[in-house]
Amino acid sequence: MIELRNVTYKYEDHPVFQGISFRVEKGQKVGIVGESGCGKSTLLKLIAGLYTPASGEIIVAGKSAAAEITKKVTVVMQSPMLLPMSIRENITMGHDYPEEWIDMVIDAANIRSWIDTLDKGLDTYLGDRADELSGGQAQRIAIARAICKNAEILLLDEPTSALDGENAACVLEALNRYAADKTVIHVTHRPEHLSGYDRIFSMKAGKLSDETAGVIIYES
Ligand SMILES: Nc1ncnc2c1ncn2[C@@H]1O[C@H](COP(=O)(O)OP(=O)(O)O)[C@@H](O)[C@H]1O
Ligand SMILES: [Mg+2]
């Protein structure tokens, strides 16, 4: 369950949310569409515990401390960040996982055929080579990282924006299968990627509506 209670957030002197409240139940799939700059990424970062609200409360999976929330949540950010480590470490973030789990993850993120072309495979160091990756490869590593963590809440910020249609469809299908019993919030420019979702939110600067229920959730 994700709950925002009267949350206010601003960048320096630019207010993004002034007292937003809503609730997403455990297991719900929520899509968010909306024009650029209206605050979609900011909202996901608040829920992920990466930003601290100026006032109000955010409760995620029963937790309100950011350090606890980050354990419950996994995020695929709009611009994936790769670290100067091997592909494997970029996926596992240095944690130990069974080899079968990592195998499942690289299939789900559709990176096996690419990894198989690399001499050192999963242990290829990404340090100086991160720039040589395509946006799509970087994005798929970020998706693999998110799936690998296996958190109960999955936050997706335009997770397939750098993938072509066929790859995007393939990765989305795997993400949906993996996330069947998870709570998902998925920001996208492509509403067709949200078929089967429980709720579709539409966002504008200062306004959030639940299109499915036909109600305004927040208006500043
Ligand atoms: N780091 C930042 N510093 C200052 N302003 C920011 C920052 N990030 C986003 N903003 C501003 O906050 C608003 C919402 O941004 P964002 O959440 O990225 O929107 P979206 O993801 O919907 O495109 C925009 O007006 C944007 O310019
Ligand atoms: Mg954004």
74 inside domain: yes
Going from the C-alpha of 15 to that of each of 56, 130, 181, 192, 220, the distances in angstroms are 14, 35, 34, 30, 10
129-188 tens-digit pLDDT: 666 788 888 999 999 999 999 999 999 999 999 888 888 888 898 899 899 999 999 999
The CATH number given to whatever domain includes residue 74 is 3.40.50.300
Ligand 1 within 6 A of CB of 11 = yes
* pLDDT at residue 89, rounded to an integer: 96
Sign of torsion over alpha carbons 68, 71, 77, 82: positive
198 inside domain: yes
Place of tokens 């579709």: 200
Beta-carbon contacts of residue 53 (< 8 Å; ≥ 6 apart): 7, 8, 9, 17, 46
Q: In angstroms, what is the span from residue 155 Cα to ligand 1's centroid?
A: 17
The DSSP letter of residue 121 is G
Q: Above 80 in pLDDT, residue 45?
A: yes
7 inside domain: no
Neighbouring C-beta atoms of residue 29, cutoff 10 Å: 20
CA distance 19 to 24: 17
Ligand 1 within 6 A of CB of 101 = no
* pLDDT at residue 162, rounded to an integer: 87
Q: What is the mean pLDDT of the chain?
A: 94
Q: Above 80 in pLDDT, residue 37?
A: yes
15 inside domain: no
Q: Which of 7, 17, 42, 75 to mutate to test the pocket of ligand 1 (most atoms within 8 A of CB)?
A: 42
68-110 tens-digit pLDDT: 999 999 999 888 888 999 999 999 999 999 999 999 999 999 9
In this prediction, residues 24-39 reach a mean pLDDT of 97
Q: In angstroms, what is the span from residue 96 Cα to ligand 2's centroid?
A: 31
Q: Above 90 in pLDDT, residue 128?
A: no
Q: In angstroms, what is the span from residue 135 Cα to ligand 1's centroid?
A: 21
Q: Above 90 in pLDDT, residue 209?
A: yes
CA distance 143 to 167: 12
> For residue 102, with 0-12 CB atoms within 10 Å meaning exposed, 13-18 middle and 19 or more buried, which class applies?
middle
Q: Above 70 in pLDDT, residue 127?
A: yes
Q: In angstroms, what is the span from residue 161 Cα to ligand 2's centroid?
A: 11
* pLDDT at residue 49, rounded to an integer: 95
Q: In angstroms, what is the span from residue 211 Cα to ligand 1's centroid?
A: 23
Ligand 1 within 6 A of CB of 21 = no
Least confident of 31-45, 69-83, 119-133, 201-215: 119-133
Residue ranges with CB less than 5 Å from ion ligand 2 = 40-41
Determine the structural domain holding residue 142 and report its residue range. Answer: 27-38+66-219
* pLDDT at residue 44, rounded to an integer: 97
Beta bridge partners of residue 215, listed in sequence order: 210
Ligand 1 within 6 A of CB of 13 = no
Domain tally for the chain? 1
144 inside domain: yes
CA distance 152 to 185: 12
Ligand nearest to C-alpha 34: 1
Sign of torsion over alpha carbons 106, 110, 115, 116: positive
11 inside domain: no
213 inside domain: yes
> Which residue lies with its CA nearest to atom 2 of ligand 1?
11
Ligand 1 within 6 A of CB of 47 = no
44 inside domain: no
